[in-house]
Structure 1
Amino acid sequence: MRFVLAAFFLLLGAQPAGAVSSVTPAPTVASGLCQVTDPRVTELSGLVSDGARWYAVNDGGTEVEVFVLDRSCTVQDVLTANTDPYDVEDLARAPDGTLWLADTGDNGKKRATVALLELKPSGGGAKLHRLTYPDGPHDTEALLLDRSGTPYLVTKDILGDAKVYRPTGPLATPGPTPLEQTGSVRIRSTDTQGGPVGAFGSVLVTGGATSADGTVVALRTYTDAYLYAAPDGDVAAALERTPVRIPLAGEKQGEAVAFEPDGTLLSAGEGIGQPVRAAKGAASLVAAPLSAAAGNQAADASAGESRSPSGGGLPPLPAAAFAVLVVFGGWFLVRKLRRR
């Protein structure tokens, strides 16, 4: 068993880390701003900023709780609602200040519906919007909002083949509203250190964010952030472009990513005393390489290759080895992630 798992990680890590460096500037290094030490914020999984305050949610939970933090990571307030979510994983903020909680976690892939919870900071409770996938359950930890407020869900896939979904129409209350797949994003493994599950961590999508002006979209794994240009605010189109990769090395269990209004990228993770880190000027990195990235879009070496739903395929492992490794590697990862 140990030999098989070692071979699995070796082959996974041997997949091309990508040609992103040939079309992007050197990544900005994230630096620590402060540490989250409040014992109520033990599993920080979603984060957003309004420029003056940060809003954070824990992974899971039995009630709606959004923690309002100042710039020193101190909790100043807690926004609540009388709703019992199943597994909250991410947080987004609309231009009008509305907070959207992604109750989309499903480690066991057994939920008939997932949900988005709409929360006004001024109060009034949470509005529930149930959603259904067109192809069965998925574990999802990343939520993106476009300029119009349309939500996009990006799945967490052990092979790095994340699927992208959005509602087929206006959100019903409580729903469910059907989702449709708009594309997929293949995340290649990297050598960035961090995360709780070894080499797997660099391909698992654990969070998402959209810049304040809607022109940059970010996805993160346990170890890296990927920034996609969305000059027209189109999230689906943005995820088809070649991204800029920003390593987020050393995060114990990094699951949260957010943009400050000035384009600074924030990252954070689970655990008492973990830092909120900032990559200054991160959003500006996607503008310069955009034209070059378009010319290299067809290259399969991209670290964050995106495809339409019809462009299926798996990482190029030998078929027999792949089948064996998936069985044993999947078993191991499910055990590791069961309570993540």
Structure 2
Amino acid sequence: MLERADSRRDRARRRTRVAGAALTAPLGLLVVLPVSPAVAAEAYGAPTTRCEITDPRLPELSGLVGVGDGMLAMNDGGDRVEVYALDGACTVGEVRTADVDPYDPEDLAVGADGTVWLADTGDNEQKRETVALIGLRTDGSSTLTRLTYPDGAHDAEALLLAPDGTPYLVTKEVLGASSVYRPDAPLADGATVPMTRVLGMGFTLTGTPGGPVGRAGQLLVTGGAVSADGQRIALRTYTDAYVWPLTGSDVTGALSGSPVRVPLPDSPQGEAIAFAGDERSLLVSSESLPAAVTLVPVAGDLAPAPPAAGDDGAAAAAPAEAADPSRPVGPVTAGLIAAGVATGLIWIGGRFRRRQA
């Protein structure tokens, strides 16, 4: 049995304490390997609202998967496993459950065999000894595999399921220095499987507004998706989506390349991302009720464009090939990021304290 889920009040207290701790984190110990995104000036068109989720059972939408013309969705947290099937109008149909008490589910994926995978990987206080992947099989049975990090606890909200079935977790880091982890062995029900850190990524300030924590939201990875045809990967922050081409199941190689960056519409707490039925357009949504499911339609070539001449780097990261993985963030960049993080975390700490009153 997994660790029991905390109440919303307990989770709010946790997040407030984490906010305070993050403000005192030593900047010199954080390492960033920048991604090299290009703004999707032509690759994606204007976002439109596909539908609105109004069902009171989905107040904290975190995981989303496109399935044909419909979707699968799940809440952040909760004290039981529940996956909701939505049609194209966001109306809830079938609800799939499992006799598992999760700790903090954050993301969702579907395997080639139809198994629905929940990433029970949330860890705001970074104190869990294990995280878990919960599988809902098509025959109604379920599996639970525990995972361990090689370097201590992390908070992760993004699950990438490669076409060959290998899962990858992408951590959520306050200064954008996310890590990618992969299990060392196949998933097995009841097993505890160690993971290896296979890649370090660096997300930088983009200038896109949105999210609950100000500029810090531009750095925090909150969700991930792999297209059903296995040709693309997407990660999102509170404000932007990043899309990479995928060859085979080489997720690490894909994420090491240059993505297309897609500024997303402002939303209260955007954590959900999926590929639409065409496997190229994006579906994104946020915690809240009603929650708009926004379609970001593909409009052109998804290959990243070269940076514009004279770009000063304020809205995009430095080229990946010029980055040194062992080099810490520069003092100016660190100062700018820290200022944004501090502002956002002070705000969110106050917000959760007000909720408890």
TM-score normalised per structure 1: 0.83
Aligned twin of 2:190: 174
AA of the residue aligned to 2:272: A
Deviation string 1:132-180 (CA, Å, 9 cap, x unpaired) is 0000000000000111000000000000111000001112322210000
Task: Determine if contact 2:35/2:257 at 8 Å carries over to the other structure.
Answer: no
AA of the residue aligned to 2:99: N
Aligned twin of 1:289: 304
RMSD between aligned residues: 3.3
1:312 deviates by 3.2
1:86 deviates by 0.1
Aligned twin of 1:66: 83
Task: Determine if contact 2:205/2:314 at 8 Å carries over to the other structure.
Answer: no
Q: Distance in 2 between matches of 1:145 and 1:17?
A: 20
1:1-340 alignment runs, 5 A limit: 20-21=38-39, 25=42, 27-124=44-141, 126-262=142-278, 263-281=280-298, 285-286=301-302, 288-289=303-304, 302-303=316-317, 311-318=325-332, 332=346, 335=349
Deviation string 1:50-79 (CA, Å, 9 cap, x unpaired) is 213210010001110001111111101110
AA of the residue aligned to 1:289: P
3-state secondary structure, aligned to 2:201: strand
Q: Distance in 1 between matches of 2:149 and 2:319?
A: 23
Q: Distance in 1 between matches of 2:338 and 2:273?
A: 34
Structure with the larger RCO, 1 or 2 (CA within 8 Å, 6+ apart): 2
Deviation string 1:56-114 (CA, Å, 9 cap, x unpaired) is 01000111000111111110111011100000000011122211100000000000000
Task: Determine if contact 2:83/2:96 at 8 Å carries over to the other structure.
Answer: yes
Structure 1 unaligned spans of 5+:
6-15, 294-298
Q: Distance in 2 between matches of 1:102 and 1:81?
A: 14
Q: Distance in 1 between matches of 2:320 and 2:109?
A: 22
1:122 deviates by 4.0
Task: Determine if contact 2:216/2:341 at 8 Å carries over to the other structure.
Answer: no
Task: Determine if contact 2:285/2:294 at 8 Å carries over to the other structure.
Answer: yes
Give the direction of change, closer, same or farther, for the CA distance of 1:60–1:285 in structure 2 (3 Å limit).
farther
Q: Distance in 2 between matches of 1:18 and 1:138?
A: 24
Give the direction of change, closer, same or farther, for the CA distance of 1:325–1:274 in structure 2 (3 Å limit).
closer
Identity %: 47
Q: Distance in 2 between matches of 1:128 and 1:276?
A: 29
Q: Distance in 2 between matches of 1:86 and 1:233?
A: 29
Task: Determine if contact 2:207/2:315 at 8 Å carries over to the other structure.
Answer: no
1:311 deviates by 1.2
Structure 2 unaligned spans of 5+:
1-22, 24-33, 308-312
1:19 deviates by 6.3
Q: Distance in 2 between matches of 1:306 and 1:180?
A: 22
3-state secondary structure, aligned to 2:119: strand
Deviation string 1:283-304 (CA, Å, 9 cap, x unpaired) is x643x338x69xxxxx998549
Q: Distance in 1 between matches of 2:239 and 2:334?
A: 29
Give the direction of change, closer, same or farther, for the CA distance of 1:91–1:338 in structure 2 (3 Å limit).
farther
1:306 deviates by 5.9
Q: Distance in 1 between matches of 2:263 and 2:333?
A: 31
3-state secondary structure, aligned to 2:178: strand
Q: Distance in 2 between matches of 1:336 and 1:18?
A: 34
1:329 deviates by 6.1
Task: Determine if contact 1:46/1:90 at 8 Å carries over to the other structure.
Answer: yes
TM-score normalised per structure 2: 0.79
1:320 deviates by 9.5
Task: Determine if contact 2:121/2:157 at 8 Å carries over to the other structure.
Answer: yes
AA of the residue aligned to 2:62: S
Give the direction of change, closer, same or farther, for the CA distance of 1:63–1:182 in structure 2 (3 Å limit).
same
1:31 deviates by 1.2
Q: Distance in 2 between matches of 1:110 and 1:190?
A: 30
3-state secondary structure, aligned to 1:238: helix
Task: Determine if contact 1:192/1:224 at 8 Å carries over to the other structure.
Answer: yes
Task: Determine if contact 2:36/2:259 at 8 Å carries over to the other structure.
Answer: no
Q: Distance in 1 between matches of 2:250 and 2:218?
A: 26
3-state secondary structure, aligned to 2:221: coil
3-state secondary structure, aligned to 1:206: strand
AA of the residue aligned to 1:29: A
